[in-house]
Amino acid sequence: MSGEHGPLRLATRRSAPRRYTSATLTGGVALAGICFSVAMVAELLGADVGDGAMTDVATVVHGLFALTPWAWATAGAYAIVITPVAGLLVTAAEYWRVDDRRTVLLAVAVLAVLTISAVVAILR
């Protein structure tokens, strides 16, 4: 194709990357769903419910192997909390590769707000 001033060039624009962000968010939600499902099935089958503090990771891991509903529900909660953080990190990495610094800075800023919110909630 030729235009008035020479060959017509179509502008090529890189599309916004989202494959890995999508996979991260989908994987996190699927993992949480699996954890919550295992917790419900274990509860329905009459497994010992189990208990402990969510911050005691060793007890949670032990409970996962023992198939206690509490541990599996806790793992699901961990996945729900970690998924957006992981998604923001992956988004920043994807946009860094296509030189979209504004989106990278926005992802990092949102991550900083989440971090500050978590620290305030924990220290409160």
pLDDT digits (tens, 9 = 90+) for 67-105: 999 999 999 999 999 999 999 999 999 999 999 999 999
Task: Say what the pLDDT of residue 49 is.
Answer: 81
What CA–CA distances, in Å, run from 80 to 5, 94, 114, 123?
A: 56, 22, 14, 21
90 in Cβ contact with 71 (< 8 Å): no
Average per-residue pLDDT for the chain: 88
Which of helix, strand or coil describes residue 52? coil
Give the pTM. 0.76
